[in-house]
Structure 1
Amino acid sequence: MQKTWFKISLGFIVGIFALTAVAYAVDIAISRDNVPRGATVGGVEIGGLPNAAAAEVLETQLGQIATQPVHIQTDLKDPTTAIFTPEAVGITPDWEATIAGAGEQSWNPFKRLAGFFRSYELPVVSLTDETLLHTSATDLATELSREPVDGTIRIAETGTVETTPAVTGITVVAADLEHEMGENWANPAGITVSATTVEPSINDAEVQKIATGPAAIAASGALKITGEKDITAILEPAEIGEILHFEPVAGQLQPKLDIDGLTERLKAQLAASETVKRNAQISGSGANRVVTPHSDGLVVDWPSTLEGIEDRIIGKESKEFKASYIEDPATFTTTDAKNASFDQVVGEFTTSGFSGPSGTNIALTANIVNGAIIAPGDIFSLNSYTGPRGKAQGFVESGVILNGHADTAVGGGISQFATTLYNAAYFAALEDITHRPHSYYISRYPAGREATVFEGAIDLAFRNTSAYPIQIISFVQGNSVTVRLMGVKTHNVESINGGRWAPTQPKTIELKDPKCSPSSGAPGFTTSDTRIIRTLSGAEVSRETTTTVYDPSPIVRCL
């Protein structure tokens, strides 16, 4: 009985092995050219399918994958993200190469059996435009990266302390991203690329340290400076914020105070507390000379007043204090005026060629200016000295040059007096503060050495740089005007003209105006003038060249 059971069991086992062997052989025969079981691509199962069928399935289900957006994110807690389309960056799938990458079905029966129960993802093999992919990866790496941003602090217009948080920088290496894009672009979960962080120089801790320290002190109250005459200058916190800044230095925020801006604001408020110096004045001449005494001034001593000002604004010192003052002595005293002599010509010039209304305006201006005294160091301004030059002051309408053609205006002709005065100051070796030449050359004036004026807009001003007072003597004789500067002569002046070059030709304009005056026009040109100042003994003191460009005067046709 036992032998019979043994034979039956043995036969059963042999039969099972025989059947398994037959099934294994049949499976090998059937799946020899198929994709290994369990293989998937982009989540699509192709395992067990013939290669051609697998390629067809992939094309059907994943054919549009290269046109679908792929999401990228960095491997950070707060990731940066970007999106790209594979086709746009030079990536397209190669299904045949992808399937070939699966290899052949294993001969190992256990592995063949496991293929029925588990799957694995095959990487998509791509056709790649290397140049386009490299460029695209570089651009996307820049998009995913960011520069670190320092935290900042300021006192706002509201007078309160405002801060901006620091931002940690992010760096994505383009080569790493390019590799991930090429290898994992078909991954349904997208791409995660490694990134490194870059800390800012000024972090939030440093910002808060300053915000609760110096900045808070600066914003805690107004700066008050009491001056003479019960005048007080006040800078509110908002104004302090305009001149106090916190700048990054070696990982720290350092306060920087704009002393010039601070002084400018305080000067405007404390100006009324100062006493302006007044130089002695001389009127009349000879036995009729009258001297108006000088008076010394009292002005704020800014270096002394602002000493230790940072400790008052951002430190422990009081924000309320008194201004310091120093005397500002007159530069031309009563004694100087009494002893002054105006018996030497230091500069003189004459121009001519005017008539009619222009002569009236020039003579009136010469009469106003005649006798003016310019103390040492003082500036003479023609517009300031004459004041308004309108009909109420006796000025009349006369010829002027407007846009290159003849016109009229009240006060016309005064530019000829300005040119005469400018040249007298030029040869007196005085300092040119401001002057403007005419836009168009006027032949009765020296080229490159003339000046125009316009009330409220264009002025002629110069400084008396000598140690002696100067008196202006100005008068009209016939159709000539002379300006003579009298005082103590200390220098000789030479003028050298540089010639004319770069000519420009005139254009034609047509005017339909009863006052139109036809003109044949004149070319424009560029010229230069060099002023050489020497001592009376001949030693050169200075040499300065001025270049002037004249526009061409248009050809005027009257309609």
Structure 2
Amino acid sequence: MRPRIASVPSVALAGGTLALGISGLYLAGLAVTGGEIDAGTTVRGVEIGGLSRAEAVRKLERHLGAAGARDLPVKVGERTGTVDPERAGLSWDIQETVDRASRSGTDPVSVFQGLFRSGGTVEPVARVDEGKARAALGQLAKGLDQKVRDGAVGFGDGRVEQIAPRTGYALDVDAAVGALRAAFVRQDTRSPTALPVRETRPAVTADEVRRAVRTFAEPAVSAPVTLTAAGERFTVSGKVLGEHLTMRPDDRGRLQPRLDEKGLREDPAVDRPLDRITTTAADAELRSEGDRAVIAKDARLGHEVTDKALGKAVLPLLTAQGDGRAGTVDVRTTRPEVTRENAAELGLTQTMSSFTVDFEPAEYRTRNIGRAVELINGSLVRPGETWSFNRTVGERTEANGFVDGIIILDDKYAKASGGGVSSVATTVYNAMFFAGVKPVEHGAHSFYIERYPEGREATVAWGSLDLRFTNDSGKALYIQAESTDTSVTVNFLGTRKYDEITSVTGPRTAVKKPGKHVSHDKECVPQTPLEGFDVTVERVFHDGGREVRREPYRTHYTPRDEIVCE
């Protein structure tokens, strides 16, 4: 029997052959695959297979950089615009993209896998700076956001105008960051990317606009309306009506008609015919006749058409047709406060006081004093009411009928509108003084003026100094004022509370000599000198034949310096 021969050497040979084969495959794999990126790998059509990482980075920077710089078209609601990727913080992360495309290493397993695998398409990695993106989107919103617009109806030149509603869109910046990044990744520059928005629907719809036009707007201006007021008949055209008509939405989004009653009342087409029937109520005019107050002119009733009455008459006619577009306007009768019948009841029976101030004639004095008297005459002051010179006369402006004249300003004469009005203020003050009613506010001139009683005179200044008194007589008080070219007279008519009011003037004290100045001012007004002083005047009340009380009024006058104009 022959001994068995072992086969170990054959196994060893097979193992050596296997090792040699694997080694050859590894070397072949390295030779075939070449670099660190699998063959056939592309990024947006750019071939990077077989390249090293560094080579791939450089190649992608050249090709993707240009594509990533193109503006991205976007849409906000119905409006379109573009976004600059760089300004919006959008860019390609080339390094991360190459890392994703690369093999994990040169180990045998990775090399052997590369022999049986193609790289395929790799999507580029996008990077976004959210701060820059939000800033760019915020700027975009300023131009592309669309405010909601309600449907509306207008009237122009006698025609009806329809305004279509419009949905409002506001870019949702936070939500839009992701949408912008996605648009950058897609690189679709042919059609705009719709960015997320917050939508606001109009409250007044297109259907509501059509309803308002059909049921009100078109009928309203389709024909004139005819109005009758106190027998006066006139027409108002559709064009005029349209100028004063609007339609405004209510809380439910329904358009409601609005008529500008005041504007329609002031329109010449309405104002002219109504002026022929409207009159202002006028109080009876009183005058002083000795100790009695008598009626000089009877009162007159007034007739007026209010804005509200006009609107009440017109609005129902606007949706009518034919003869139905005619209506009547209510005319209101206004009654005067003082009449022949109620004068005695009001207590306007006596002359309470009368005072006159004379002045040197001057055109500006005559005009300004006459205008102030016109505004004061007929003032009725009921018991407990306070009368104001400034409120009654108004600001002394050209528009109010006053002209420039001489006034006292900063202790010297100067030119200003309303010069001479202090003569009226002084006259009213003295009439108030001797009527015995309560003074509330008054002020004397800074220096003494010889034509006025010292310590018993007054001046006024718009916005800073007024002449006011309260009627505490218990009955109504009527101011009668009149003027000539050289004088002004004011009478207080009512019911005397005291038998008599007298005045006691004390001596001048704290007398101070005036100075002298030379002025080169173009507007210089020469001034004669007069000493300054203090004086106290007492108002003495008499009743039942005896003195019942006294009221002292102290006045300080500064010296009136001499001013020579050169």
TM-score bracket relative to the smaller structure: 0.5 to 0.7
SS state at 1:89 partner: coil
Distance change (3 Å), C-alpha of 1:179 and 1:364: closer
Distance change (3 Å), C-alpha of 1:109 and 1:288: closer
Displacement of 1:207 in angstroms is: 1.4
Distance change (3 Å), C-alpha of 1:71 and 1:174: same
Displacement of 1:412 in angstroms is: 4.0
Give 1:152-191 correspondences, 5 Å limit.
Answer: 152-156=152-156, 158-185=157-184, 187-190=186-189
**Conserved in 2, the CA contact under 8 Å of 1:24 and 1:109?**
no
Q: Which residue of 2 aligns with 1:312?
A: 317
**Could you tell me which of 518, 522, 540 is aligned with 1:513?**
522
Distance change (3 Å), C-alpha of 1:194 and 1:441: farther
Q: Which residue of 2 aligns with 1:234?
A: 236
**Residue 61 (1) aligns with residue 63 (2):** yes
Q: Equivalents in 2 of 1:404, 1:162: separation in Å?
A: 64
What is the letter of the counterpart of residue 271 of structure 1? Answer: D
Q: TM-score, normalised by structure 1?
A: 0.62
What is the letter of the counterpart of residue 316 of structure 2? Answer: D
Displacement of 1:321 in angstroms is: 1.6
Q: Which residue of 2 aligns with 1:327?
A: 333
Q: Which residue of 2 aligns with 1:133?
A: 133
Distance change (3 Å), C-alpha of 1:338 and 1:142: closer
Give 1:104-503 correspondences, 5 Å limit.
Answer: 104=103, 112=117, 120=121, 122-126=123-127, 128-140=128-140, 143-156=143-156, 158-185=157-184, 187-190=186-189, 192-195=193-196, 197-228=199-230, 230-232=232-234, 234=236, 236-265=238-267, 266=270, 269-282=273-286, 285=289, 291-300=296-305, 306-307=311-312, 309-314=314-319, 318-336=324-342, 341-343=348-350, 345=352, 361=365, 365=369, 373-374=378-379, 399-401=406-408, 406-407=413-414, 412-418=419-425, 420-421=427-428, 442=446, 450-452=459-461, 468=476, 470-472=478-480, 483-488=490-495
Deviations for 1:352-373, whole angstroms, at most 9, x for unmatched residues? 9x97567994899589959955
Higher gyration radius (CA)? 2
Displacement of 1:270 in angstroms is: 0.9
What is the letter of the counterpart of residue 293 of structure 1? Answer: D
Distance change (3 Å), C-alpha of 1:474 and 1:177: closer
Distance change (3 Å), C-alpha of 1:333 and 1:98: same
Displacement of 1:235 in angstroms is: 5.6
**Conserved in 1, the CA contact under 8 Å of 2:169 and 2:200?**
yes
Q: Equivalents in 2 of 1:255, 1:267: separation in Å?
A: 22
Q: Equivalents in 2 of 1:311, 1:360: separation in Å?
A: 54
SS state at 2:154 partner: strand
Displacement of 1:87 in angstroms is: 2.3
Aligned identity (percent) is: 21
Q: Equivalents in 1 of 2:420, 2:143: separation in Å?
A: 67
Displacement of 1:511 in angstroms is: 4.5
SS state at 2:338 partner: coil
Deviations for 1:186-207, whole angstroms, at most 9, x for unmatched residues? 5431462443544222222221
Displacement of 1:515 in angstroms is: 3.7
Give 1:10-159 correspondences, 5 Å limit.
Answer: 26=28, 29-31=31-33, 33-65=35-67, 67-73=69-75, 79-104=78-103, 112=117, 120=121, 122-126=123-127, 128-140=128-140, 143-156=143-156, 158-159=157-158
Q: Equivalents in 1 of 2:430, 2:153: separation in Å?
A: 55
Distance change (3 Å), C-alpha of 1:295 and 1:484: closer
Q: Equivalents in 1 of 2:436, 2:259: separation in Å?
A: 43
What is the letter of the counterpart of residue 285 of structure 1? Answer: E
Displacement of 1:255 in angstroms is: 2.5
Q: Which residue of 2 aligns with 1:524?
A: none
Distance change (3 Å), C-alpha of 1:400 and 1:43: farther
Q: Equivalents in 1 of 2:307, 2:62: separation in Å?
A: 85
What is the letter of the counterpart of residue 101 of structure 2? Answer: A
- How many residues of Structure 1 are paired with residues of Structure 2 in the alignment? 457
In structure 1, runs of 5+ residues without a counterpart are 1-21, 391-396, 454-458, 492-508, 520-555
SS state at 2:223 partner: coil
Provide the alpha-carbon RMSD of the alignment. 5.7
Distance change (3 Å), C-alpha of 1:450 and 1:112: farther
SS state at 1:86 partner: coil
Distance change (3 Å), C-alpha of 1:425 and 1:223: farther
SS state at 2:204 partner: coil
Q: Equivalents in 2 of 1:480, 1:326: separation in Å?
A: 41
Q: Equivalents in 2 of 1:29, 1:419: separation in Å?
A: 122
Q: Equivalents in 2 of 1:195, 1:368: separation in Å?
A: 70
What is the letter of the counterpart of residue 161 of structure 1? Answer: V
Deviations for 1:445-502, whole angstroms, at most 9, x for unmatched residues? 99xx84358xxxxx999999997462436799xx9987442213689xxxxxxxxxxx
Distance change (3 Å), C-alpha of 1:517 and 1:299: closer
Q: Which residue of 2 aligns with 1:523?
A: none
SS state at 1:73 partner: strand
Deviations for 1:263-310, whole angstroms, at most 9, x for unmatched residues? 555566412223444443345625996743344344447666644643
Q: Equivalents in 2 of 1:363, 1:91: separation in Å?
A: 80
Deviations for 1:213-244, whole angstroms, at most 9, x for unmatched residues? 21112221233322235352636434444343
Distance change (3 Å), C-alpha of 1:50 and 1:557: farther
Q: Equivalents in 2 of 1:23, 1:291: separation in Å?
A: 137
